[in-house]
Every structure is written in structure tokens, then in C-alpha cells.
Amino acid sequence: MEAEAVSVSVSTTMEGFNFNGLLRLTGCVKNYDWGRNGKESCVARLYGLNTGGKIDENQPYAEFWMGTHDSGPSYVVEEGRTTTENGFANGGEREKLTLQDWIEKNPSVLGQTVLHKWGTHLPFLFKVLSVAKALSIQAHPDKDLATLLHKEQPLVYKDDNHKPEMALALTEFEALCGFTSLEELKVIVQTVPEIIEVVGDTPAKRVLDLNEDDGEEKVKLVLRKLFTEMMSANKDVITEVLAKLISRLNIKNKARRLTDKEQLVLRLEKQYPADVGVLAAFLFNYVKLNPGEALYLGANEPHAYVYGECVECMATSDNVVRAGLTPKHRDVTTLCSMLTYRQCYPEILQGTKLNPFTMRYLPPFDEFEVDRCILPQQSTVVYPSSPGPSIFVVMGGEGTMTTSAEETVAEGDVLFAPANTNITIATSSGLHLYRAGVNSRFFEE
């Protein structure tokens, strides 16, 4: 980092927790059905190393959470004590203190600007995802809709916050994000007869009759009608139509190479037989990220992660409106009514170089940014103080992180850094880590 850094030393003792610059945390694991099994999963490895929890080779490990959300809170680890599963330190329940509890008793660690905007709530939720099969076709509500949904269905929509998010690829990563262009949509309607069989001739003809002179709102209305008719179709109709679609594609595959999206549809149907989301996949952009590339998603934008592993960051929320490719609760009416129906390919972030080892990914959301730091052997980098808090996760290697004291870190370690903390990171063998923090542009404003 090129800017001059101001280092501060924070030292406090609270309920037996000795804190001197960096706070060690245990994260929370989610065993969703779409996760990768056992040690094939990056999430499982991180969870095992971070908490000491035993890995079940037959269990899917989908998400590793680092933050303060009630659905998967992080816990503080007392200095010098060995952690066990679920955030306990050897010594019993006395040590089970959530990061949120600790922040509320030490609010200055967030910095004055963050406190003024979000109170004592950490504004971002940091995750690692291991995706073996597609997640649901979903969208996240904006703030107003999140408040309404939480009030009406608190058991389904767990909080009243919006959930913009960003995924940064650790491996090659596949996703469906946003609706295809009008040009591609017309081709799809003409070449996928099963869509017309589901929605009828009229919505399809409206798509084909659109032209460049039609206003954006008219195009959105036509797309909305098409998508809503498809997602609301009778399940028996979908089952019959998908059988025809898969049979047709298998025959075509003998005569020509299928398109990437046709091949994807065959994969999705094996994962979610007779699911309307298989057909809906034709309407979305199919995105493939290389490691080190990121995409971000605003409120009310449809998406579905398909395959791969990533670091994910979002506003602190767990609100998901689902309508396909899932055994979970579906809310088709809400999803179809909330979407923006914008037709554009998502922006792919390559990151901005902060120094030879660190890239920063800045989405257009105040709540978060992510840094990717890969240190080679015998190297050192300085993270200057940020006006807001940070969470670091070590993905590989080992080294040290030094504030007013030196911490030895290795794969699986998760650390919270208060606002205005200058950190020197060094390694002799190599170190790979990620940092989540409040968006730097927020403080510039």
C-alpha cells in the first residue's frame, strides 16, 4: 500500500480474553446439499483446521462463515487456548463469546465512521464456498423488500437487511447471472421449442417482435411476462417438457457439439430432475470465472452459482428468495415480482493492484471489499490502517501477522482486526490469505 499508514496499538482484557491487536476467531460451517464432500471441500479443510472439528467424508461441506450474523456467528478464541468445535476453547462454556458480543462491549474497534453508519453491527459477512452442484435460482431483496419479508415471514427471511454480494474465484468458477441480451433471448426462443410449449405462443411472439427502437421498459415487461409464465408453469407440464428437451439434446449431441449452455442444461437436469430451473437456465448469462476474477450482484438480480470454489462477501444478511433448482422453500411470486429484468452481462472484476502481492476487489457497495494476498517465500507486506474493521482468513501456507505483537498464522486461521490497526504480514515459506473490510470508497465519501 502506497499511502502513509498510522499504526495504533489496541490492548484490552475482557472476561478472560487477552486482546492485543488481532483477535482470533472460529467460524461456522454449513452442510448444504450442494456442497463438496469431505476433504475434497476447501470449506471442510478450513473448518477442520479452524475449529478442530472432525470431518465426515460422506457429508457435504458448502459454506464457511466468518462474521456476526445470528445464523452462523463467529466466536472469539482466548489467547493461548486450543479451540474445539463450535467455538469452544478447552475449558468449557465460559469461553463461548460471539464476535458480536465482543464488538458490542468494545464498539470502538469498528471505528467512528462505521459506528455512525451501522451502529455496533459488522456490516459485512465473509464466506468461503465449495460448490459441487448448482445452488438455487435466486435473488436477494433490496432493503425495503427485506424489511417487509422479514416482518411477514421471519422464519423464512431471517433478517431485515439487503444482501448485495461478490464472489471471488479460488478455482475455475461457474455461475448463472442476470438475463441474457435481447439478441440472445430471441435466438433462444427460436431454437428451444420447449420454452414455447411451456409459456405459449403469445409471450414468445412478443419477444420476437421486439426491436432496438422499443424502450427499455417495454422490453422488461415482455421479459417479465415470459419468465413469470415459465416459472409458474404446472409441474406436470415441466416434467413432460424437460423429458422432451433432454431427449432432443442427447440426439443433437450425436450430430454436433452442443453449446456450453446446452451442456450445462444436461448437467442441471441430472442434479435437479423435473425442475423448472433447468429450462430457465437458458434465459441467464452463463459466466465462467478464472481464479482471481470476481463478479458482484446487486439487489433483485437473478443468479445461481453452478460449480467451483470461491471467497464470497456480502452485506450481513441471509435473505434468499428462491424459485428453482432447489429442494428448499420456493417463493416464485415474490421472485418474479422483485427482479429488475435488466439484460446485461455482469461486470468481471480483475482487481486493482495495491502492491506486488495484493489485489483489491471493489464492488459498488458500501459494506465491503475483498483483498487477495499471495506472498511468495521470504516476503513481507504492510497493510496500513483502515478506518474500518477487517477479517482475515488464511487459505494456505504459514507466516506471521504483526501489530503491537506478533501472531503466527497458518491455513485455517481467521483473525479480526479493529479499525486503525497497522499490520505487517511476513512469510518464509509462502502465504495465501484474503481480507474482507468495509469498502474504501465509503470512507472517501
Q: Which residues are annotated as a binding site?
A: 138, 140, 165, 303
169's torsion region: left (phi>0), alpha (psi -120 to 50) or beta? beta
Q: 221: Cβ–Cβ under 8 A, 6 or more apart, which residues?
A: none
Read off the C-alpha cell for 198.
411451456
> Phi, psi (5° rounding) for residue 86?
70, 25
Hey, is 46 helix, strand or coil?
Answer: helix
Residue 372, strand partner residues: 359, 434
Q: Which residues are annotated as a binding site for Zn(2+)?
A: 138, 140, 165, 303
Q: In this structure, are residues 317 and 164 in contact, taking their beta carbons and an 8 Å threshold? A: no
Q: In this structure, are residues 359 and 292 in contact, taking their beta carbons and an 8 Å threshold? A: yes
Is residue 372 annotated as part of the catalytic site, yes or no?
Answer: no
Q: 55: Cβ–Cβ under 8 A, 6 or more apart, which residues?
A: 38, 39, 44, 45, 47, 48, 61
Nearest-CA neighbor of 225 among 242, 211, 205? 205
How far CA 349 is from CA of 162, 198, 265, 301, 401, in Å, comes to 22, 36, 26, 17, 27
Q: In this structure, are residues 433 and 395 in contact, taking their beta carbons and an 8 Å threshold? A: yes
Residue type, 370: V
How far CA 421 is from CA of 32, 395, 401, 434, in Å, comes to 36, 22, 12, 17
Hey, is 43 helix, strand or coil?
Answer: helix
Buried b (16+ CB within 10 A) or exposed e, 96-111: ebbbbbbbeebeebbb
Read off the C-alpha cell for 170.
479460488
Read off the C-alpha cell for 52.
478442530
Say what angle helices 235-255 and 260-271 make with each other, to 10 degrees. 130
Farthest CA pair distance, the chain? 71
Is the dihedral angle over the CA atoms 177, 183, 189, 192 positive or is it negative? negative
Among the listed residues 322, 360, 372, 435, the single catalytic one is 322
Check residue 72 and report its DSSP letter: S
Catalytic residues: 322
